[in-house]
Structure 1
Amino acid sequence: MPGVISARQSEHVPEPRDEAEVGDRQRHPTVDVVIPVYNEERSLPGCIRVLHDYLSNGFPFEWTITVVDNASTDGTERVANQLAETTDNVRVLRLERKGRGLALRTAWGFSDADIVVYMDVDLSTGLDALLPLVAPLSNGHSDIAIGSRLAPGARTVRGPKREVISRCYNALIRLSHGARFSDAQCGFKAARAEVIRPLLQRIEDDSWFFDTELLLLAEHNGLRVHEVPVDWVEDTDTRVHVASTAIDDIRGLVRVARNKASGAAKVEDLPRRPEPAPIHPDAVVAQRRETGLLWQVLCFGLIGAASTVATLLLYAGFRTWWPYWVANFVALTITTLLNTEANRRLTFIGRKRPGGRVHLQGLVVFALYYAFTSGALFLLDALKPRHTAALELVVLLAASLVGTAGRFVLLRIWVFRHDKSPAAVAGEKNLEEKVAA
């Protein structure tokens, strides 16, 4: 039903609603599509018209459109209220403070729908992706669904500047947090309400980093994130300030990593997905085993060899511009990030550790490794100031090999040490009982 919701007095996230009042939500889920707007009096009518027509023609779920007026200073509030009064299933939420994250936190918190969605007012993402976005949430298969402009099958039309910035930012997220999603900032996301509400209480950002923080917390807490490749066309009339947003995003990545390491990013009251169990009554289930020492040594050696070659090549290139200690630092920083992530995914399979803690400990190991290799170069420079570039590379190679052996020991006994939490032990016991039954 159309209507206007006032949030002038309160911008906090309300307590979750009593699900018993809603009925059988699993068979007949409801969807709330949230459109955050700031000074969009020109774009809003066309957006609502197109979206309303799409939802009215064959969308298989009961739906509502919620326009969140994000402290607009033009005529957006007036236009939104007119649309709510004249269009079925459209409502308006007015906030007196800016911030896309704040808009989503408030609207999703107020919503009584089973599935909450958000999309940008410019409709850059093709609406054909909306049903594939919502479907895996409606049957409980996934917890959060995101549109991705970088997933295989996606098609985008945008300028080279935004393309480069987007790819670099998402690569930084994967390197720093080990994230598995490909596109954090696409304005096309959905979530199961029962899952998203506990997460909203932990998300600190009220602006553009909200999306990234949401996904990082979701993965950190074991939620299943589903990606949908989308068709996306850039609208150049944007409210995003790239420079300030990039700085805020980097600060946010550091803050989330710190929260992961301290345990503050863990959300205890999330609905937990049961451990996978065989469906076939006569299935012979493979036991989950940790990789052995031989595999770890072999895999670590191959990754280390590739990293050493990459370090030497990068160092040789950077050395033409910078002093040896700067060239060594930059080369090692690049290869160490890739090396740690490769070892997390391949070498120490079965040793599940919090991603933030792993990367922080990896930085400590990197600092020791850097000090050792740089010390070797410093010693060479002190003993033989006029040495050749070839000798310098030989010394660096020898120091890298010794340092690599030390890194393996530290990674195995400290960063990826094997310790089973009580929850993990209980989960394995439960799985064994199911298999035996």
Structure 2
Amino acid sequence: MGDTPRTDPPKLSLLVPCYNEEKRVGATAKTVIEFIAESELDAELILIDDGSLDGTWTLLEGLRLAHPVVRTVHLEKNRGKGGALAAGVDAARGEYVLFFDADLSHGTENIRRALDVLERGADLVIGARDLNDDGDDYPLTRRVTSAVFNLVIDSLLGLGIPDTQCGFKAFRREVAGALFRTLTVSRFSFDVELLFLAKRWGHRIERIPIEVEHQEGSTVRVFRDGIQMFGDVVRIAWNAKRGRYPKSANR
């Protein structure tokens, strides 16, 4: 059994949404827990089970019982990545919140860098694969689909933010709370709506170069999910045109 879980709030809450991730999240959690200890990072690790159908929840609970830095959130029904992260943000106690994918494709070395940028005054930090000189090793299909998706986003919303779908983002907690409470999209396109709102509300958005190592076993189904994502972006643009989003975080 682990030591008694901490009761004082940490500086940073690390969020990992999990859906049917029993084969991968154990190794990811172990790596992150070791990173927190070795770097003496003042952080908690929140693992969110998004209504998994496999043994993910049992695994997460075992990690919570064994490691004081781990907390868990269990959703009875699948809400999508955005919905899972909204629940994680609600549970977070840190001054800052950072989320990344269960495969840890973005690596732990980027966590400290994102935190440093937040502490220098940013409201939101986005991992930017396009700023990395080494590029990434994602399959060609994923890269082409991503490029087309970004063109659609720019034409409909004028975001001007390349690679909105990078799964590594960090926030001041109060900023994350306001953004996630306002989202109407809960699945893969939630990032687009989140960034649209952040830009609309005048938040300071910073991008940092990150390396990404493609991992097998992705839950993204490129063509089927791509159709849904396109529909979500059209809905976001329609909502914006109809004035359905608040003009500021304070309404």
TM-score, with length taken from structure 1: 0.53
C-alpha separation in 2, matches of 1:169 and 1:242: 11
Match 2:222 to one of 242, 246, 260: 242
Query: Which one has a larger percent helix, Structure 1 or Structure 2?
Result: 1
Which one-letter code corresponds to 2:34 in the other structure?
D
Task: Tell me, yes or no, if structure 1 residue 226 matches structure 2 residue 206.
Answer: yes
C-alpha change, 1:160 and 1:2, in structure 2 (3 Å) is farther
Match of 2:90 in 1: 109
Shift of the alpha carbon at 1:59? 4.8
Greater relative CO, 1 or 2 (CA 8 Å, sep 6+): 2
- Partner SS, residue 157 of structure 1: coil
Task: Tell me, yes or no, if structure 1 residue 120 matches structure 2 residue 105.
Answer: no
Segments of 5+ residues of structure 1 without an aligned counterpart are 4-21, 24-28, 272-437
Please report the RMSD computed on the Cα atoms of aligned residues, expressed in angstroms. Answer: 2.0
- Partner SS, residue 235 of structure 2: helix
Report percent identity of matched pairs. Answer: 27
Which one-letter code corresponds to 2:215 in the other structure?
D
Match 2:36 to one of 51, 55, 66: 55
C-alpha separation in 2, matches of 1:173 and 1:134: 28
C-alpha separation in 1, matches of 2:248 and 2:197: 12
Give per-residue Cα distances to partners, 1:367-423, cap 9 Å, x unaligned.
Answer: xxxxxxxxxxxxxxxxxxxxxxxxxxxxxxxxxxxxxxxxxxxxxxxxxxxxxxxxx
Task: Tell me, yes or no, if structure 1 residue 92 matches structure 2 residue 72.
Answer: yes
**Alignment check: 8 A CA contact 2:142 2:222 kept:** no
C-alpha separation in 2, matches of 1:109 and 1:64: 14
C-alpha change, 1:52 and 1:257, in structure 2 (3 Å) is same
Match of 1:265 in 2: 245
Match of 1:255 in 2: 235
Which one-letter code corresponds to 2:202 in the other structure?
G
C-alpha change, 1:152 and 1:42, in structure 2 (3 Å) is closer
C-alpha separation in 2, matches of 1:76 and 1:269: 35
Task: Tell me, yes or no, if structure 1 residue 206 matches structure 2 residue 186.
Answer: yes
Shift of the alpha carbon at 1:119? 0.7
Match of 2:124 in 1: 144
Match of 1:173 in 2: 153
**Alignment check: 8 A CA contact 1:151 1:182 kept:** no
Task: Tell me, yes or no, if structure 1 residue 197 matches structure 2 residue 177.
Answer: yes
Which one-letter code corresponds to 1:32 in the other structure?
S
C-alpha separation in 1, matches of 2:115 and 2:190: 20
Match of 1:357 in 2: none
Give per-residue Cα distances to partners, 1:206-228, cap 9 Å, x unaligned.
Answer: 11111111111111221111111
Which one-letter code corresponds to 1:49 in the other structure?
K
Give per-residue Cα distances to partners, 1:275-326, cap 9 Å, x unaligned.
Answer: xxxxxxxxxxxxxxxxxxxxxxxxxxxxxxxxxxxxxxxxxxxxxxxxxxxx
Q: Which has the larger radius of gyration?
A: 1
C-alpha separation in 1, matches of 2:249 and 2:237: 21
- Partner SS, residue 94 of structure 1: strand
Which one-letter code corresponds to 1:30 in the other structure?
K
**Alignment check: 8 A CA contact 1:71 1:95 kept:** yes
Which one-letter code corresponds to 1:53 in the other structure?
E
**Alignment check: 8 A CA contact 2:14 2:45 kept:** yes
Match of 1:330 in 2: none
Shift of the alpha carbon at 1:91? 1.1
Shift of the alpha carbon at 1:78? 0.9
Match of 1:39 in 2: 20
**Alignment check: 8 A CA contact 2:45 2:70 kept:** yes
**Alignment check: 8 A CA contact 1:170 1:183 kept:** yes
C-alpha separation in 1, matches of 2:207 and 2:169: 9
Aligned length, in residue pairs: 246
Shift of the alpha carbon at 1:138? 2.3
C-alpha separation in 1, matches of 2:143 and 2:249: 38
Which one-letter code corresponds to 1:85 in the other structure?
L
- Partner SS, residue 116 of structure 1: strand
Task: Tell me, yes or no, if structure 1 residue 82 matches structure 2 residue 59.
Answer: no
Segments of 5+ residues of structure 2 without an aligned counterpart are none
**Alignment check: 8 A CA contact 1:2 1:84 kept:** no
Match 1:164 to one of 131, 139, 144: 144
C-alpha separation in 2, matches of 1:191 and 1:146: 9
- Partner SS, residue 105 of structure 1: helix
C-alpha separation in 2, matches of 1:136 and 1:50: 23
